Homo-oligomer: A and B are copies of this chain.
Amino acid sequence: MSEHGTILQLKKCVLLQDMNSDELDAVFRLTESEDFAAGEEILTEGLAYQSLWIIVTGRCEVVKSGNGLEPNRLAELEEGAVFGEMSFFEKAPHSASVRALSDVSTMRLTRRRFEDLRKNCPAAADKIACNLVNILSTRLRRMDEWTCQLVEGNCSERQQGEWQEFRAKLYSGLQF
C-alpha cells in the first residue's frame, strides 16, 4: 500500500479518532513500522512489553496457552485492530500471545515514544488516551453485564455472594 493509502486507512483506526492532521503527523513521526512473516509471534504471553501495535495489513490471532493443553485461540484481529493496550500504561504481563496469521505489517508506538508525544504534542497523546478509555469502558461494561447474567442465572448463592464482594472491591478501588 502507498504511504498515502496507509495514512488514509490508519485515520479510521479507533485509536486515532478525532485527530486533526497535525496531531496525526505527530503520532506517525513517532511510530515505527514492523513487519512479520506468517506464523511469527509478535507478542508473547507472560512478557511485559509496553507498546501499542496497529495492524496496517494482514491478520493476527490472539492465543492463550492452556496449562499444558492445546493453545486456545481467543480472537482474530484484522487490519486496523489495535493490540498491547491492556499493558501499555501499567507494566503487566500480557495474558495472551499475538501471532501473525498472514504476512503482517504493523505500526508500533512504544511507551517511550508515547512519552515523547506527551511532551511534543500533548493534544495527540490526550486523544489516544481518551480513545483508549472509551474502548476499555465499553469492554468493561459489556463484560460486567455478561458475568452478572451468568452469575444470576447459573450460580449458587455462595458464588453470587462472592461475585458481589468482588465487584464491590473492584468498583470502590479508586481511592486515596
Tell me the nearest residue of chain B to A129, going by C-beta: B129
A118 touching B129 in the complex, CB below 8 Å, given contacts A14-B174, A137-B90: no
Nearest-Cβ distance from residue A109 to partner chain B, whole angstroms? 14
Chain A interface category by residue count: 35 or more
Across the interface, A76 reaches (CB within 8 A) one of B15, B172, B174, namely B172
Top 5 nearest A-B pairs (CB, nearest first) are A80-B176, A129-B129, A126-B126, A122-B122, A136-B136
- This chain: how many copies in the complex? 2
Does the CB pair A155–B144 fall under 8 Å? no
Does the CB pair A90–B132 fall under 8 Å? no
Residues of B within 8 A of A88 (CB): 133, 137
